Amino acid sequence: MSSTRPSAHERILSTATTLFNAHGVRGVGVDRIIAESGVAKATLYSHFRCKDALVLAYLQQSDTYWRTALKEAAEAAGPDPRDQLAGLFDALCAAAVQENFRGCAFVRTAGETEPGSDTHEATAEHKRAVRAWLTELTTAAGAADPATLALQISVLVDGAMSASAVECGPEVVKAAKEATRTLVALACPART
């Protein structure tokens, strides 16, 4: 049985993802990505016209992964949006126990890029999309002020991811999950 070798595009993006997650987007040069992915410089540039294009592909891949993971964790908590708002933190718990977890790729990248740049805008767009989804859930949960509750929960998500990168474990995520339960209980009327 033969295994198919990943395409050059996949190898480049996979290598860049590993390196960007470990060292940040500024801490990794194109030459290192080329060397570790085993491609020629011309091959890298035929797939990604510049390093920023590679960073954008990394962010797009991260966006797809995280939005899917958060939604799946929320849905696994059951049909009640009040439970889903707390349940989404289970995706963060799963990530926080991974050995190489370094926190939120978007927060890290935003701190390393210039406001107004395409890469910085991609980080902001991810955060807006997550908050819009949270607003849908808080609306469905019956929050009197869904946008404010969604903002509060998104701050807890970002804080939990950042603190987990420092404290290496799920404890801070569990604390954020419980804080979310409290906020939801206060902001959303009980269902009878």
Could you report the per-residue pLDDT of 12-47, keeping only the tens digit for each? 999 999 999 999 999 999 999 999 999 999 999 999
> Which domain, by its residues, includes 180?
59-187
How many domains does the chain divide into?
2
pLDDT confidence band for 192 (50 / 70 / 90): low
| 192 belongs to a structural domain | no
User: Based on the domain organization, do 44 and 82 belong to the same domain?
Assistant: no
Residues 171, 108 share a domain: yes
In a domain, 31, yes or no: yes
Residue 97 banded pLDDT, cuts 50, 70, 90: confident
Q: What is the CATH number of the domain that holds 80?
A: 1.10.357.10
Same domain, 178 and 129: yes
Domain co-membership, 37 together with 92:
no
Domain co-membership, 142 together with 181:
yes
- Does this model's pTM top 0.85? yes
**45 and 63 both lie in a single domain:** no
Supply the pLDDT for residue 99.
78
Q: Is residue 2 part of a domain?
A: no
Same domain, 33 and 72: no
pLDDT at residue 101 in the model: 84
Pure H helices in the chain? 8-23, 30-37, 41-47, 51-76, 81-87, 89-96, 105-112, 118-140, 146-167, 171-187
pLDDT of amino acid 191: 67
| Span 57-87, pLDDT tens digits | 999 999 999 999 999 999 999 999 999 999 9
Answer whether residue 1 shows pLDDT above 60: no
Same domain, 79 and 150: yes
Alpha-carbon Rg of the chain, whole angstroms? Answer: 19
CATH of the domain at 11: 1.10.10.60
Same domain for 65 and 21: no
pLDDT at 159 over 60: yes
> Average pLDDT of the chain?
93
**pLDDT classification of 112: cutoffs 50, 70, 90:** very high
**70 and 130 Cβ atoms separated by less than 8 Å:** yes
Examine the domain organization and report whether 44 and 67 are in the same domain.
Answer: no
Q: Do 78 and 147 lie in a common domain?
A: yes
Q: Count CB neighbours of 59 within 10 A.
A: 25
Query: Is the CB of residue 130 less than 8 Å from the CB of residue 67?
Result: yes
6: pLDDT confidence band, cut at 50, 70 and 90?
confident
Q: What is the pLDDT of residue 166?
A: 86
Do 22 and 64 share a domain, yes or no? no
pLDDT tens digits, 140-155: 999 999 999 999 999 9
